[in-house]
Structure 1
Amino acid sequence: MLGLAPPLAQTARAQPQTPKASTAEDEIRDATKLFYVAFNSALHGDLDPLSTVWSHRPDVSNLSAAGGWAAGWNEVHEGFRNMARLYPDGRIAPQIILVVADGAIGFSVCRETGQLRLAEGPMVKFNQRSTNIFRLEDGKWKLIHHHADSGSTSLQGVTR
């Protein structure tokens, strides 16, 4: 019996390592990162990458940290066009991305950090909460909802 152990160990080592299969969570994390790359491109005047990461269906929506509300791809796209006009410089990045996926729907939550320059003003730093909801469309995770806000660190009014 003991004589079998070395050949089995050699056989096990000889097996090729198979790459880890991509999970929906990994794909949504990647789609989240691509959204922020596209967002940064929009801030510098190139809105084309947003067309790649967003769904173009009429049920998409965007609730921006500036208080805007957009429903449908045309309004969402126009909202980003206006943001690029109002904030012609800056950078935004996701931090601490948490992901959940279930079937053809998934979401990521993260902190958006960065800085934006008003059209005629100083660079303003920000740190805000964000939720990004994705839907699997033709094998790709497409953004269908983005919501960002500054949140509140106050505990006033909290009940248990």
Structure 2
Amino acid sequence: MPSPTEEFLADVLPRQIAAERAVHQGDAGPRTALWSHADPVSLFGAWLPVRTGWADVGDAFKRVAAQFSDSREYRFEVVAAGASGDLAYTIGFEHNTVSVNGRPTTYTLRVTHVYRREDGEWKIVHRHGDHPPDEPAPDVELGP
């Protein structure tokens, strides 16, 4: 019998990976669908100031997605995960080869996600992403 964490990952990871691949092709829709629209939600993005509340977070997703195109690789490397009751988390690395504002780049982010189960479905309620200290930041910047 699978553990609660294994069940959580089997449910969430395929949808989350598909949503991130879509964002890196310029489509924020699948990521928006994966997130809770019920506050509190928060985003500590690698290139963005802190965002809190669904209106601000959802708007940030649209602006960021508009700057991505030509995704050639997206991979989410899970380092740790856990699920208990209606809360869960993942910690890992996102490996990307994509164009940002038309400029091809490859980069890795270390990311933490927090999930809340709402009406039986896992939704992301927090994301923190930043550049690993031992890896140079990409030479492109996303706008606000």
Using structure 1 for the length normalisation, give the TM-score. Answer: 0.73
Unaligned stretches of 5+ residues in structure 1: 1-19, 155-160
Q: Cα deviations across residues 94-134 of structure 1 (Å, max 9, x unaligned)?
A: 0134211222111010111012212232x111112110100
**Structure 1 counterpart SS, 2:107:** strand
Alignment-derived partner of residue 59 in structure 1: 40
Deviation at 1:92, TM superposition (A): 2.6
- Is 1:128 equivalent to 2:126 in the alignment? no
| Matched residues, number | 133
Alignment-derived partner of residue 67 in structure 2: 86
Alignment-derived partner of residue 111 in structure 1: 93
For residue 7 of structure 2, the aligned residue among 17, 23, 27 is: 27
Q: Which has the larger radius of gyration?
A: 1
Structure 1 window deviating more from structure 2 (83-92 vs 102-111): it is: 83-92
RMSD over aligned CA atoms reads: 2.0
> What percent of counterpart residues are identical?
23
Using structure 2 for the length normalisation, give the TM-score. Answer: 0.80
Do the aligned partners of 1:40 and 1:92 also contact (CA within 8 Å) in 2?
yes
Unaligned stretches of 5+ residues in structure 2: 136-144
Q: Which protein has greater RCO, CA pairs closer than 8 Å, 6+ apart?
A: 2
Amino acid across the alignment from 1:29:
L
Do the aligned partners of 1:29 and 1:97 also contact (CA within 8 Å) in 2?
no
Larger relative strand fraction: 2
Alignment-derived partner of residue 45 in structure 1: 26
- Is 1:100 equivalent to 2:82 in the alignment? yes
Q: Cα deviations across residues 53-101 of structure 1 (Å, max 9, x unaligned)?
A: 1111121111111133221222222111111122223243201342112
Larger relative helix fraction: 1
